[in-house]
Homo-oligomer: A and B are copies of this chain.
Amino acid sequence: MYSAGTGIGVGLLGLGLVGSAVARALGRRVDSPSGSCLQLIGGLVRDRDKLRDVPIDRKAIHSDPSAILNDPQVSIVVELMGGEDPAFAYLKQAIRAGKHVVTANKELLSTRGRELLNMAAEHGVHLEYEASVGGGVPIIGPLSNDLQANEVISLRGIINGTSNYILTRMEADGASFADALNEAQDLGYAEADPSSDVDGLDALYKMVILARIAFRTELPLSSIHCEGIRGVNAKDFRYANSLGYTIKLLAVARHEKDGLLARVHPALVPLSVPMATVSGVLNAVEVEGDLVGSLWFQGRGAGADPTASAVIGYIIRIARACLAGNVHTYDAISDNGLPIVTMDKHVCQYYMCIEALDQPGVLAKIAGILGELEISIHSVMQMDEDGEQGTADLVIMTHPACEDKMRAAVARIRDLDVVVSLANPLRAESYGSIG
C-alpha cells in the first residue's frame, strides 16, 4: 500500500481507536489528489500482540518508542496516546530531533503547551494540535489564522461531549446523573473513570488551549473556576425549563474590563439561544471578535473519525510545507498576556434550588439573608411539595449578583435550621442582545 522509500514519513504514537482511524484513513488518502506524498512508517503500542485493524505491517508496530522517535525516515510524529506522561518526553525528543509533531493531546497542550510550542519554534518544526479541541471542528486553525486580525472579546462553548451527552439525557428522560453516566459509559462516550469529563477538567484543558491563542495569554489551570456537573439534579432541568432555560456545561473566557476571566461550570442557558440546542455529544464554540462579530462553529467534538479528520488535515499540511521546502515559524509566546481576573467579582443571575421545611416564615428567613447581602430576588417558585416529609423546593432566581456575596449567602442559607439542603447555585449565562 505504501511505496517504500518515498514520501514524507509518518510515525504514530498510539494505535487505539483514534490512532487506528488515522492509520486507516491515511491508507485511503495516501494516493488522493491532495497531492501529498505520505508514507506511514510505523506505530508505537503498549502491547504488540493485540490484533489491530490497521494497514501497517506487523513488523512496523513497535513497543519501543525509539523505533519511531529515532527513525530518520519519520518526519512527522503523530501522538495519540493522551496524558502528560510519557507523551511529553516523547514529543520533546521528537522536536529536538527536528521532527514535526501532530497531536490530539489536550492535557499535555494545556499544561506544557507553552514549553512545547517554544521548543518547536526554536527547532523550526510544526507542532499542530487542532484535534485537541473540538474533535473535527476547526477552531484552533480559524483562531490562529483566519481571525488573527481581531481582538477577541469572548470565547464561549460546549467543549466536552461526554458531559453534554449526560445533561441531554437527564433533560430528555428525567434520568439521574448516575443513570445518565452509566448509559454514557455503556455507549463508550464516558470512560470507566469519568472524572476528567464530568468534573470539568477536560473542558478546562481545552479552554486553556483556546485562550492561549485567542487572548495571547497563558491561563494557569488553577486560575480558572472549574465546576463539573455532578451537582446537577434531574429536577433542576424541570425547574430551569419552567424559567425558560436549559442547563449546559459551559466553558467561557472573556476579556472583561480588568482582564481575562475564564470559567467552566454548569450554567442556565436561555432556551431561545443556539447554545441551548447543542445536544448529545455535539460541541459548539462561539467566538466574538471586534471586527468579525459573533461566529459559531459546531460539529462532532469527539470520536475516532472526526479526530482523524483534524489530525490528517495537518499531516497533509505539514507534508506540503516540507515538499515545498518551507519552514514553519511560530511567534514566541508572549509573557505579556492579559491580567487574569478571578470569579470573586463576577456578576450574573443565580438559580438556587433550596429544599426546605414547608412551613410559614421560611422564605422570609432566606429573603432576609439575601437582602442583607444586597442580592435581589427576581422570582421564587415553590415546587415539589412533599407532604409526607413536610418539605418543598424553593426555586429562587436572583437579579444579577456578585459571586462573593452569593457565596456568603449560600453558606448562611445552608446554616438555617429550616433548610434541608441547598445544592451549589447555578449561574445563568448572560446573552445580552445576542439571544
Interface residues of A (CB under 8 A from B): 21, 25, 29, 33-35, 130, 135-138, 141-142, 145-150, 216, 274, 277, 284, 289-300, 303, 305-306, 308-317, 320-321, 323-329, 331, 334, 336
CB-nearest residue of chain B to A334:
B33
Instruction: Specify which chain B residues have a CB less than 8 angstroms from the CB of A34 in the assembled complex.
Output: 148-149, 331
- A316–B148 touching, CB < 8 Å: yes
- B326–A291 touching, CB < 8 Å: no
Cα of A323 to Cα of B146 in the assembled complex, Å:
18
- What are 16 A-B contacts defined by CB distance under 8 Å? A34-B331, A135-B292, A136-B293, A138-B145, A141-B145, A146-B313, A148-B316, A149-B313, A291-B309, A292-B300, A293-B303, A295-B297, A296-B297, A297-B297, A298-B298, A320-B329
- A299–B295 touching, CB < 8 Å: yes
CB-nearest residue of chain B to A146:
B138
Cα of A149 to Cα of B34 in the assembled complex, Å:
8
Cα of A292 to Cα of B130 in the assembled complex, Å:
13
Instruction: Specify which chain B residues have a CB less than 8 angstroms from the CB of A33 in the assembled complex.
Output: 216, 331, 334, 336
Contact of A130 among B138, B146, B311, B321 (CB under 8 A): B146
Instruction: Specify which chain B residues have a CB less than 8 angstroms from the CB of A149 in the assembled complex.
Output: 25, 29, 34, 308-309, 311-313, 315-316
Cα of A327 to Cα of B312 in the assembled complex, Å:
22
Instruction: Specify which chain B residues have a CB less than 8 angstroms from the CB of A314 in the assembled complex.
Output: 146
Instruction: Specify which chain B residues have a CB less than 8 angstroms from the CB of A310 in the assembled complex.
Output: 146, 292
Instruction: Specify which chain B residues have a CB less than 8 angstroms from the CB of A317 in the assembled complex.
Output: 145, 148
| Centre residue among A145, A277, A298 by max chain B CB count within 10 A | A145
Cα of A291 to Cα of B216 in the assembled complex, Å:
31
| Centre residue among A29, A293, A303 by max chain B CB count within 10 A | A293
Cα of A291 to Cα of B311 in the assembled complex, Å:
11
Closest 4 pairs between A and B when the two form their complex, measured CB to CB: A149-B312, A136-B292, A138-B146, A291-B309
Cα of A145 to Cα of B312 in the assembled complex, Å:
10
- A141–B146 touching, CB < 8 Å: yes
- B148–A138 touching, CB < 8 Å: no
Contact of A299 among B25, B137, B292, B334 (CB under 8 A): B292
Given contacts A294-B299, A320-B329, 5 further A-B contacts (CB under 8 A): A138-B138, A147-B313, A149-B315, A292-B310, A296-B296
Instruction: Specify which chain B residues have a CB less than 8 angstroms from the CB of A277 in the assembled complex.
Output: 274
Instruction: Specify which chain B residues have a CB less than 8 angstroms from the CB of A216 in the assembled complex.
Output: 33
Cα of A130 to Cα of B142 in the assembled complex, Å:
11
Given known A-B contacts A148-B313, A310-B146, A296 and B298 have beta carbons under 8 A apart: yes
Cα of A295 to Cα of B297 in the assembled complex, Å:
7
- B295–A137 touching, CB < 8 Å: yes
Instruction: Specify which chain B residues have a CB less than 8 angstroms from the CB of A299 in the assembled complex.
Output: 292-296
Instruction: Specify which chain B residues have a CB less than 8 angstroms from the CB of A274 in the assembled complex.
Output: 274, 277, 298
Instruction: Specify which chain B residues have a CB less than 8 angstroms from the CB of A328 in the assembled complex.
Output: 324
Instruction: Specify which chain B residues have a CB less than 8 angstroms from the CB of A321 in the assembled complex.
Output: 326
Cα of A147 to Cα of B321 in the assembled complex, Å:
17
**Chain B min CB distance to A383 (Å):** 29
- A305–B334 touching, CB < 8 Å: no
Contact of A309 among B147, B308, B334 (CB under 8 A): B147
Instruction: Specify which chain B residues have a CB less than 8 angstroms from the CB of A297 in the assembled complex.
Output: 295-297
